[in-house]
Amino acid sequence: MSKKLLWIAIPIILVVVVFVWVKGVYNAMVTQDEQVKTAWSQVENQYQRRLDLIPNLVNTVKGYATHEQSTLQGVIEARSKASQTNINPENLTPEALQQFQSTQSELSSALSRLMVVVERYPDLKANQNFLELQAQLEGTENRIAVERQRFNETAQGYNTYIRRFPNNIFSGMFGFFPKAYFTAESGAERAPKVEF
C-alpha cells in the first residue's frame, strides 16, 4: 500500500514542481516584457514633448525670420512625419525601430538647420520666449537620450533573460521574442570635420 502511494505521490510532486517552475519563468518574462513597454512609453513621452515644443518654436522664429520659409517648412514637415511614425511596443523589431529612429533623425536635422538660421537674427536670439523654448528643447533632447539609454538597458535585461537556457525553450513557445535596441546613427562613429 505504501509503495503504491509513493508511486502516485512522486509523479504528482514532480508535476507540481515543474508547474511552479514554469509559472515562475513565465511570470518573470511577463514582468520584464512590461518593463520594456514602460521604458518604451517613456521614450515616446519625451519624443512627444519635443513634438509639442516645435510649433511654439516655429511660430516664434516665424515672426523674426520671414525669409526662412523653406527651413521652417522643413521643420513642420519633419515634425508631421515623426508624429505619424508610431511603434507598437509588442512589435519592437529592429526594422520598426530603425524606421522610428530615421524619422526622429530627420526631425533632429531639421531642428539643427533651424538653429543655424537663428544665428542670423540677433533680435530673435535675445527674445525671452525663444530662449525659454530653446532651453526646453535642449532639456528635452537630454531627456530623450536618458530615456533611450534606460530603454536599451531594460531591453537588454529582457533579451538576456529570454535567451538564457532553459528560458529560451519557453520564450518562443509563450510568444516572447527579443526587442530591438536604439543604435547610433550611421556616421556617428566618425568625428565631425571642423574647418576654420
* In the chain, domain spans: 12-173
Q: Which CATH architecture has domain 12-173?
A: Up-down Bundle (1.20)
Q: Could you tell me if 100 and 87 are in contact, meaning their C-beta atoms sit under 8 angstroms apart?
A: yes
d(CA 20, CA 27): 10
**pTM, full prediction:** 0.75
Q: What tens digit of pLDDT does each residue of 82-117 get?
A: 888 888 877 778 888 888 888 898 888 888 888 887
Give, for all 196 residues of the chain, the pLDDT tens digit. Answer: 688 888 888 999 999 999 999 999 999 999 999 999 999 999 999 999 988 888 888 887 877 766 677 788 888 888 888 888 888 877 778 888 888 888 898 888 888 888 887 777 777 777 788 888 888 888 988 999 999 999 999 999 999 999 999 898 889 889 899 998 888 766 544 544 544 3
Strand extents, DSSP E, the chain:
none
What is the C-alpha separation between 68 and 65, in angstroms, rounded?
6
Q: 155, 36 in Cβ contact below 8 A?
A: yes
Cell reading at 79: 515634425
Within 65-121, where are the H helices? 69-84, 94-118
What is the distance between the alpha carbons of residues 54 and 74, in angstroms, rounded to a whole number? 12
Query: What's the chain's length in residues?
Result: 196
C-alpha cell at 5: 502511494
187 — alpha (psi -120 to 50), left (phi > 0) or beta? left
Q: Report which residue type is found at 24.
A: G
Write down the pLDDT at residue 59: 81
Contact criterion met (CB below 8 Å) for 55 and 83 = no
